[in-house]
């Protein structure tokens, strides 16, 4: 095994990387030999690192059952069954209940099977649960634990439920059902099976479609952090294909609850393998919310059009299903933020928005505080959304309380101060408080050019030219900003002076900017001069001239703040002039070469004239399909061939050739062989007698005799 080949202990590898599956695999096999009391801490860590892996939960439970710790095993089932809808784990649960209660408590075992079918009965591999359920009912009937009529009705119900569910080995259940009806009542068996045959055929086709969709999915995959590998992306696409298949409603179910449950189960199965992919969580939550709204809408519409509405009508059930979907949405959010999505703010924001839509504002406060209280995350964006929520629901006082807590948090960034100031100005119409917040942030983040730009953009709303100039001078002359971060501020200063200041001020600022940036770009006075006269995308010089001046590189540096904090992976451009690749002819290989283009990859360029003349005299390569001669071996044979032969051998060979030639002429001159002669040498239109034709043919054969060793012709002669 790979971990053992490394020569290191698996526990050391797990300390370095908690998601090292190979190390965990070796450790699990080692722990199976030890007492459960010594292994329990390792198993607890295992299910904590991989909470969605049903296989690891199953191993843990089986170890407890093997040790006789049934209370511990049942406690583990309570922890994982409802959240980990793994078919293997649920099989283990059903097996445990059957072995523990056997036929002593048929009601308990039946409840366990019904519970399993309700949760994982839609699974592609649910055949074994249906099959085991039927076997248990048959055994209970044989033992007299269930009445005969009741047992037949229950077994028939299980079969019909399985027949209406697409799954693997669907045809085997149909065969067992037909045999069951034959055994119960041979006279009515055909009528009962014929009544559901059309349903079986339709579901069987869907089962085959489901097999085709599921064949590319690796359901044994353990959920680990995203690696963006090719195999991982292939699995994600395969799961998306399966989810799309379920969303297309292949069963054509009229019951919307059944349709929604199948789609949610597909998302649950995808999350077992990809719990670190936020898109599956977001899509599942969105579908659940839409499903709940749809169910409530159907219930209200049904109540409106129904005159007499029984208490337990379908519309009441639809409304109850909508409430359950609403609760399932909350449970799904809680699962996400308590497991792999604990550091993903997007899930918290969606959760808070959902609770805000339900008018549960206290829960929204709790959600944001849960994320902010984590020590391993950046809470800046959480504070921003928290303040926005407070501003639209509770007012500016609540915003100030949150901002006060953010100021005391040393992890926040300057964006929190920007949002707080803008909320004060636009929400409370108080510019003085906003300015004080900006000043406070400028003191705390003196080297943040983005915050300085936000401050200057804010002051531009007031048309206070003097205050803006003072701010520019204070920030640019402070020496706190690195040179590469001050470029955007210098550009904004030039733009401001060009719009408002006089010519003297523009020239002074341009000279200062040139002096400041000369250390970064060298002496480029003309390139730096372009910013004085440009406006937005309108340039004062042609593009070629700007490229010669090196101005595009300056633009890339000065506009780096427009990336909104995202790192630019492209390195700085070189000062060396690069060739213009736009004028090159793109390579387009030809599958079937025509004319005198090269048939091999490498480009479509005509050969020289001499080669063209030779190529016109010989057939193209595609006309020859083989056999291909091994040139080296042929040359070796020719070099080693001995041309010197004895006179006796030559005479014998010559006599043999003459004999074969005369035999060939005799056979060809025979009238019955005329068709073969015409096939080989072409038909000769003539009105002469057959004997004369034979004489003419003999003369032609004397002049145009075929090769002596013509194997092909000799074989054809033997067929006649």
pLDDT (tens digit per residue) in 276-327: 999 999 999 999 999 988 888 887 776 555 544 454 556 677 778 888 888 8
Would the pLDDT of 271 be above 80? yes
Report pLDDT digits (tens) over 65-106: 999 999 999 999 999 999 999 999 999 999 999 988 776 788
Would the pLDDT of 541 be above 90? no
Would the pLDDT of 152 be above 80? yes
What is the pLDDT at residue 496?
77
Which is nearest to 47 in space by CA: 17, 79, 72?
79
How many other CB atoms are found less than 10 A from the CB of residue 359?
A: 9
Q: Mean pLDDT score of the chain, rounded to an integer?
A: 80
How many other CB atoms are found less than 10 A from the CB of residue 632?
A: 8
Report pLDDT digits (tens) over 325-353: 888 999 999 999 998 999 999 999 999 99
d(CA 222, CA 668): 79
H/E stretch holding 340 reads none
Kindly report which listed range (9-13, 407-411, 511-515) carries the lowest average pLDDT score: 511-515
* Cβ atoms of residues 255 and 307 within 8 Å: no
Residue with tokens 């300015």: 435
* Cβ atoms of residues 583 and 556 within 8 Å: no
pTM of the model: 0.72
d(CA 373, CA 379): 8
Supply φ then ψ for residue 590, to 5 degrees. Answer: -105, 135
Supply φ then ψ for residue 535, to 5 degrees. Answer: -145, 115
Would the pLDDT of 409 be above 60? yes
What is the pLDDT at residue 512?
73
Number of residues assigned to the chain: 720
Confidence of residue 560 (pLDDT cuts 50, 70, 90): very low
Percent of the chain at pLDDT above 70?
75
Measured CA distances, 301 to 73, 257, 289 (Å): 46, 16, 18
d(CA 120, CA 87): 7
For range 108-114, the mean pLDDT: 93
Which is nearest to 48 in space by CA: 13, 14, 71?
14
d(CA 90, CA 479): 66
Q: Which two tokens stand for residue 218?
A: 């690796």
Kindly report which listed range (45-59, 79-93, 145-159, 489-503) carries the lowest average pLDDT score: 489-503
Supply φ then ψ for residue 589, to 5 degrees. Answer: -65, 150
Beta-carbon contacts of 485 under 8 Å, excluding residues fewer than 6 positions away, are 447, 449
Confidence of residue 134 (pLDDT cuts 50, 70, 90): very high
How is residue 561 annotated by DSSP?
G
Confidence of residue 363 (pLDDT cuts 50, 70, 90): very high
What is the pLDDT at residue 215?
92
Report pLDDT digits (tens) over 652-662: 656 666 666 56
d(CA 302, CA 335): 33
Confidence of residue 228 (pLDDT cuts 50, 70, 90): confident
Measured CA distances, 503 to 95, 189, 487, 510 (Å): 89, 102, 21, 11
What is the pLDDT at residue 655?
67
Kindly report which listed range (266-275, 621-630, 682-691) carries the lowest average pLDDT score: 682-691
- Quote the distance between the C-alpha of residue 547 and its chain's center: 41
Report pLDDT digits (tens) over 421-465: 999 988 888 888 999 999 999 889 888 888 888 888 888 877 777
Percent of the chain at pLDDT above 90?
42
What is the pLDDT at residue 480?
72
Using a 10 angstrom Cβ sphere, with 0-12 exposed, 13-18 middle and 19 or more buried, the burial of residue 220 is exposed
What is the pLDDT at residue 187?
86
Q: What is the 3-state secondary structure (H, E, C) of 397-462?
A: HHHHHHHHHHHHCCCCCHHHHHHHHHHHHHHHCCHHHHHHHHHHHHHHCCCCHHHHHHHHHHHHHH
For range 130-134, the mean pLDDT: 94
d(CA 356, CA 358): 5
* Highest mean pLDDT out of 317-321, 369-373, 560-564: 369-373
Could you give the 3-state DSSP secondary structure of residue 535? strand
Q: Euclidean distance between the first and final Cα of the chain, in Å?
A: 68
What is the pLDDT at residue 583?
64
What is the pLDDT at residue 193?
92
| pLDDT top residue among 579 and 677 | 579
Residue with tokens 């550009």: 491
């Amino acid at each position: 095994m790979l971990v053992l080949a490394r020569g290191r202990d698996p526990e050391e590898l797990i300390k370095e990387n908690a998601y090292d599956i190979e190390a965990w695999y070796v450790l699990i096999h080692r722990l199976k030999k030890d007492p459960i009391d010594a292994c329990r801490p390792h198993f607890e860590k295992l299910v904590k690192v991989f909470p969605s892996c049903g296989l690891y939960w199953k191993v843990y439970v089986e170890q407890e059952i093997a040790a006789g710790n049934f209370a511990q095993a049942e406690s583990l089932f309570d922890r994982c069954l409802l959240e980990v809808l793994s078919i293997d784990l649920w099989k283990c649960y059903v097996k445990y209940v059957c072995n523990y209660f056997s036929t002593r408590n048929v009601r308990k075992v039946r409840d366990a099977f019904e519970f399993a079918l309700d949760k994982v009965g839609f699974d592609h591999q649910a055949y074994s649960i249906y099959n085991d359920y039927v076997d248990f009912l048959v055994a209970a009937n044989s033992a007299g634990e269930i009445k005969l009529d009741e047992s037949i009705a229950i077994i028939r119900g299980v079969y019909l439920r399985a027949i209406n569910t697409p799954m693997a080995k669907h045809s085997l259940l149909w065969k067992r059902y037909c045999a069951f009806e034959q055994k119960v009542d041979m006279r009515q068996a055909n009528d009962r099976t014929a009544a559901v045959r059309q349903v079986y055929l339709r579901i069987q086709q869907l089962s085959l479609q489901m097999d085709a969709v599921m064949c590319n999915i690796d359901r044994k995959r353990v959920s680990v952090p995203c690696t963006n590998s090719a195999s991982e992306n292939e699995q994600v696409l395969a799961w998306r294909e399966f989810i799309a298949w379920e969303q297309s409603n292949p069963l054509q179910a009229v019951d919307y609850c059944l349709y929604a449950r199948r789609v949610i189960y597909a998302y649950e199965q995808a999350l077992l393998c990809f719990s670190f992919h936020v898109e599956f969580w977001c899509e599942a939550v969105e579908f659940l919310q839409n499903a709940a709204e749809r169910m409530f809408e159907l219930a209200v519409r049904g109540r409106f059009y129904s005159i007499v509405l029984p208490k337990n009508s379908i519309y009441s059930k639809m409304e109850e299903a909508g409430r359950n979907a609403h609760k399932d949405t909350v449970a799904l959010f809680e699962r996400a933020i308590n497991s792999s999505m604990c550091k993903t703010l997007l899930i918290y924001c969606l959760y808070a928005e959902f609770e805000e839509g339900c008018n549960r504002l206290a829960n929204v406060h709790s959600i944001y505080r849960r994320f902010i209280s984590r020590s391993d995350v950046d809470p800046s964006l959480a504070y921003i959304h928290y303040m926005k929520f407070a501003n639209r629901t509770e007012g500016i006082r609540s915003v100030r309380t949150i901002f006060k807590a953010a100021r005391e948090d040393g992890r926040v960034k300057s964006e929190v101060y920007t949002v707080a100031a803008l909320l004060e100005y636009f929400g409370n119409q108080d510019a003085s408080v906003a300015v004080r917040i900006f000043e406070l942030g400028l003191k705390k983040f003196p080297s943040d050019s983005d915050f300085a730009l936000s401050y200057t953009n804010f002051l531009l709303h007031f048309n206070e030219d003097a205050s803006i100039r003072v701010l520019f001078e204070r920030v640019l002359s402070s020496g706190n900003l690195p040179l590469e971060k001050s470029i955007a501020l210098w550009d904004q200063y030039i733009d401001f002076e060009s719009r408002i200041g006089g010519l003297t001020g523009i020239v002074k600022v341009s000279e200062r900017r040139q002096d400041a940036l000369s250390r970064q770009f060298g002496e480029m006075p003309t390139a730096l001069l372009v910013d004085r006269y440009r406006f937005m995308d309108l340039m004062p010089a042609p593009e070629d001239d700007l490229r010669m001046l090196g101005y595009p590189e300056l633009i890339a540096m000065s506009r780096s703040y427009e990336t909104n904090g995202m790192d630019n992976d492209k390195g700085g451009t070189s000062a060396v002039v690069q060739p213009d690749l736009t004028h090159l002819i793109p390579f387009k290989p030809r599958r079937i070469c025509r004319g005198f283009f090269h048939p091999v990859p490498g480009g479509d360029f005509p050969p020289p004239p001499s080669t063209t003349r030779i190529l016109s005299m010989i057939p193209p390569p595609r006309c020859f399909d083989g056999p291909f001669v091994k040139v080296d071996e042929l040359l070796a044979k020719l070099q080693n061939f001995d041309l010197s032969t004895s006179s006796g051998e030559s005479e014998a060979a010559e006599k043999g050739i003459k004999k074969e030639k005369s035999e060939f002429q005799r056979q060809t001159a025979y009238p019955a062989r005329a068709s073969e002669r015409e096939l080989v040498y072409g038909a000769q239109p003539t009105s002469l007698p057959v004997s004369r034709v034979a004489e003419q043919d003999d003369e032609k054969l004397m002049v145009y005799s075929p090769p002596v060793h013509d194997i092909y012709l000799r074989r054809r002669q033997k067929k006649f």
